[in-house]
Structure 1
Amino acid sequence: MKHDKHDKHVVLIDDESDVVEAVSEMLELEGFSVSGFTDPNAGLRSLDHHCQSVVLCDVKMPDVDGLTLVTAIQHRAPQVPVLLMSGHGDIPMAIEAIKLGAFDFLEKPLNADELIEKLNLAVTHCQQSQPSETDNASSASALPIESVIIGQSKSMDIVRQQVMALAHTGVDTIINGETGTGKEVIARALHDFSCRKEKPFVAINCGGMTESIIESELFGHEAGSFTSANKKRIGKIEQASGGTLFLDEIESMPIAVQIKLLRVIQERAIERVGGNTLIPVDIVVIAASKADLASLGESGEFRSDLFYRLNIASLHLPPLRQRKEDILVLFRHFVVQASLKYKTRPSTIYPEQSQQLSRHDWPGNVRELRNVADRFVLGIVGDGFDLTSPTGEGVGDDFAFEKQMEQYEKNVLTEALIESSGNINEVSNKLNLPRKTLYRKMKKHQLDKDSFKD
């Protein structure tokens, strides 16, 4: 839905229809236009990449938790500010959502003046962050680097800083990291945030290729250069001219091909297989390796001169087990992606499932995490690690115990309120609870003192 640039439009999402009705009426009296939704998915579908709305949504709704919803909104409409409404017991979740990029949160019951003030700030923020009409299409569609390289750990902060610094220099770079850590994501970011972003990003995996195949793939060939070469072929290096060449698993490249690649990097020119004409190429080379190329160079398994030519700059991607604080952020991101891909509703991630994710060692790193998220959304079981149901054994027992304790607490409060006919002072003294704590627990269990009066 498109709105006038100066229109103060709010997308209101709350599963309680009376809340949507009351808040909509209040906001419209204050000069806002409001689109109200009790279905989070319908609210999400109303957003697009170019909309200039502000989202005001409940942090806790059936089937969708606030963190997953914030991630989904950022994925669909990254420029849209999200204001969360949270009950007192949900404030920790709201704070986590702000770490993920939510604009702010308000505690229920809503204070009208505070709500209007924060909505006006969010509207101003949204309008200021919109690209001007003179901006070109590429900058209008650009995402912040935090939406591309995801993670809240200190190590990923450093990686993002390195990527932004190196992208502007255009130097050849080596990316080191275990299998599945996301080396190609980093390579693409180095390209997408550089002045070469409108030119080709050409990737080739050097693993498992014979010398003749990889040579033909990289350099191309002239017609008749070998038996099956019935026509000229442009190689990957030539295709990447003006842009970026990404060589994944470069440690697997045959030594003879390494020698030819070294010459290309030195001279920025190639010869096709079977040809003798030097063809100039303008490329930035990004190589990725799960092995230590310096050590391989010392043992003669990799050309040391090629390593030093490529290693003008280097990036190291830590394994997921060393940045556990990124696991849930990444998992929610992948759950949203999978939900969009398979056209399902984003599932709630229960606290005990979050614990399972954090405890796992992730030998397959981010790739393994993405696969687990896909299976979680589809509700299927695969090889290796899978999230168990909250009602299953192990962690599920912890979940059942927590629920029992919550129910016990509610029963104790209810019994005391009945005995005191809703007199808060009596309940506070009887249970030895400060009034503030008592009110918080009553709100958590939706207990109203007036309903206990004679």
Structure 2
Amino acid sequence: MTLAKHIVLIDDETDVVEAVSEMLELEGFSVSCFTDPNAGLKSLKPNCQSVVLCDVRMPKIDGLSLLGLIQHRVANVPVLLMSGHGDIPMAIEAMKLGAFDFLEKPLNTGLLTEKLNLALTQSQQNQSTLIQSDKSIEHEIESVIIGQSKSMDAVRQQVLALAHTGVDTIINGETGTGKEVIARSLHQFSPRKMKPFVAINCGGMTQSIIESELFGHEAGSFTSANKLRIGKIEQANGGTLFLDEIESMPISVQIKLLRVIQERVIERVGGNELIPVDIVVVAATKADLVAMSESGEFRADLFYRLNIASVSLPALRQRKEDIQMLFRHFVVQAGLKYKTRPSTIYPEQIQQLSRHQWPGNVRELRNVAERFLLGIIGDGFNLNSPSGEPSAEDFAFEAQMEHYERNVLTEALIVTAGNINKVSSKLNIPRKTLYRKMKKHQLDKENFKT
């Protein structure tokens, strides 16, 4: 079967199907025939480059209804309708609703072939545009959610899938894993991206403050309320509301938030008017909300209402293969921020980064990158620069060759996570020679394992 010339033929009359399919096959098309419209509909797969040729008048389903179902299932597949003379008004209406064209029975072979070829060309162009769009989006998200590990690739795919659904989502992860980056990505790659993204940290706020922040208040509703205040939920109307550290939200506020999520309406503090809001709620937590729900520290009904979908972020120590890429990214960002040229990153320093356990996760790595760029020593882990300035001996040919050899070995060990067989294969040197050179340069494979 040649996919580029594939026609899905749907007609409830067996003799018509047989005659038309024979005609099309003689003209070089491959044809899948269906007398049941539902079976024909189910045969259409996402990203297919087929064209549908179907009758308008069928007992189980009419052409207009089938057109709508096809558009919902595979939006970019062209649909040509066949109609008797009495069904032309219906066919014209179908064209207004997005049908590619219609042909009157009895069919003219030349005209039918011409129309189908035009439709196939459009189908291929539509598919090419979709592929380019998908690749563009994938490239764009890789510059936002950074990492080459399988776990982060899975996170990127999950974010793209969830962004189009508009469902409320919980993001789980340790402090510093990048939960707000994921929340912003869910907004950025959604149809709401031109609408507001409003973030609020629920930690460290009293009940009265967070209630006013979320819901707003009417003028005079309490002593210091001199004028009307629009709350964060109302500000996010049409867009995304991000609730960070939601586990810190007081129970009484959780009850009011649950109503907002269920009914999509708010009531300002001190007010009586119900204000409709169109929002997607993204919540982030470093706590185990299931355990908190069971112990009564967090409302179970709110948890289950928010947890329609969830994204779990791995700790940085669980994806050490991403450390080098992230560190270089943060150093470049810091260089732009402080208008300073990035320093050379030595293999020994990459080893230091890989050995560290990163309790502060990506946030800690960013801080280390900024301190490295600025050449300052801060609290916690510090990336020590190579000791001493280069001497004249360091520029000698043999010294430079030794340094180059050490760099090559180090890079290969980093890429392979200390796997000697892979390093031996990658560098095309025997294992015995590899071990000898590693011993000479004091390189331990254990230091490179992730």
**TM-score class, shorter:** 0.5 to 0.7
1:142 Cα deviation from its structure 2 partner:
11
Instruction: Select which of 279, 302, 305 maps to 1:309.
Output: 305
SS in 2 for 1:148: coil
- Structure 2 CA distance for partners of 1:351 and 1:405, relative to 1, 3 Å: farther
Matched residues in 1 for 2:219 and 2:241: separation?
A: 24
- Structure 2 CA distance for partners of 1:389 and 1:253, relative to 1, 3 Å: same
State the identity as a percent. Answer: 81
- CA distances 1:135-160 after superposition (whole Å, capped 9, x unpaired): xxxxx999710000000000000000
Instruction: Select which of 399, 407, 424 maps to 2:399.
Output: 407
Matched residues in 1 for 2:138 and 2:155: separation?
A: 19
- Structure 2 CA distance for partners of 1:141 and 1:227, relative to 1, 3 Å: farther
1:389 Cα deviation from its structure 2 partner:
1.4
Alignment of 1:155-174 (within 5 A): 155-174=151-170
Matched residues in 1 for 2:239 and 2:323: separation?
A: 32
Question: 1:326 — aligned with what?
Answer: 322
Question: 2:43 — aligned with what?
Answer: none
- CA distances 1:43-95 after superposition (whole Å, capped 9, x unpaired): xxxxxxxxxxxxxxxxxxxxxxxxxxxxxxxxxxxxxxxxxxxxxxxxxxxxx
Residue identity matched to 1:155 = S
1:390 Cα deviation from its structure 2 partner:
1.4
- The question of 1:247 aligning with 2:243 is answered yes
- The question of 1:364 aligning with 2:356 is answered no
Question: 2:84 — aligned with what?
Answer: none
Question: 1:226 — aligned with what?
Answer: 222
SS in 2 for 1:355: helix
* Relative contact order higher in (CA < 8 Å, ≥ 6 apart): 1
- Structure 2 CA distance for partners of 1:263 and 1:404, relative to 1, 3 Å: farther
Residue identity matched to 1:407 = A
Matched residues in 2 for 1:408 and 1:261: separation?
A: 64
Matched residues in 1 for 2:308 and 2:258: separation?
A: 14
Alignment of 1:89-238 (within 5 A): 144-238=140-234
Matched residues in 2 for 1:407 and 1:181: separation?
A: 41
Residue identity matched to 1:360 = H
Normalising by structure 2, what TM-score? 0.57
Matched residues in 2 for 1:193 and 1:406: separation?
A: 53
1:408 Cα deviation from its structure 2 partner:
9.2
- CA distances 1:8-52 after superposition (whole Å, capped 9, x unpaired): xxxxxxxxxxxxxxxxxxxxxxxxxxxxxxxxxxxxxxxxxxxxx
Higher-Rg member (1/2): 2
Residue segments in structure 1 that go unaligned for 5+ positions in a row: 1-131, 133-139, 397-401, 412-435, 438-454
- CA distances 1:383-417 after superposition (whole Å, capped 9, x unpaired): 0001111127xxx9xxxxx9999529679xxxxxx
Matched residues in 1 for 2:395 and 2:313: separation?
A: 40
- Structure 2 CA distance for partners of 1:229 and 1:252, relative to 1, 3 Å: same
- CA distances 1:256-306 after superposition (whole Å, capped 9, x unpaired): 000000000000000000001100000000000000111100000000000
Residue identity matched to 1:375 = R
- The question of 1:354 aligning with 2:350 is answered yes
- Structure 2 CA distance for partners of 1:251 and 1:407, relative to 1, 3 Å: same
Residue identity matched to 2:399 = Q
Please give the root-mean-square deviation of Cα atoms over the aligned residues, in Å: 2.8
SS in 2 for 1:314: strand
Matched residues in 1 for 2:264 and 2:286: separation?
A: 26
Normalising by structure 1, what TM-score? 0.56
Question: 2:282 — aligned with what?
Answer: 286
- Structure 2 CA distance for partners of 1:297 and 1:385, relative to 1, 3 Å: same
- Structure 2 CA distance for partners of 1:239 and 1:356, relative to 1, 3 Å: same
Matched residues in 2 for 1:379 and 1:409: separation?
A: 28
Matched residues in 1 for 2:236 and 2:207: separation?
A: 20
Residue identity matched to 1:225 = S
- Structure 2 CA distance for partners of 1:358 and 1:256, relative to 1, 3 Å: same
1:342 Cα deviation from its structure 2 partner:
0.4
Q: How many positions carry a matched residue from both structures?
A: 270
Residue identity matched to 1:309 = R
Matched residues in 1 for 2:137 and 2:349: separation?
A: 35
Residue identity matched to 1:156 = M
- CA distances 1:184-212 after superposition (whole Å, capped 9, x unpaired): 00000000000000000000000000000
Residue identity matched to 2:331 = V
- Structure 2 CA distance for partners of 1:365 and 1:406, relative to 1, 3 Å: farther
SS in 1 for 2:143: helix
- CA distances 1:394-442 after superposition (whole Å, capped 9, x unpaired): xx9xxxxx9999529679xxxxxxxxxxxxxxxxxxxxxxxx99xxxxx
Matched residues in 1 for 2:398 and 2:289: separation?
A: 55
Question: 2:263 — aligned with what?
Answer: 267
Residue identity matched to 1:201 = F
Matched residues in 1 for 2:402 and 2:227: separation?
A: 78
- CA distances 1:220-261 after superposition (whole Å, capped 9, x unpaired): 000000000010000000000000000000000000000000
Matched residues in 2 for 1:408 and 1:194: separation?
A: 51
- CA distances 1:334-374 after superposition (whole Å, capped 9, x unpaired): 00000000001121100000000010000000000000011
Question: 2:64 — aligned with what?
Answer: none
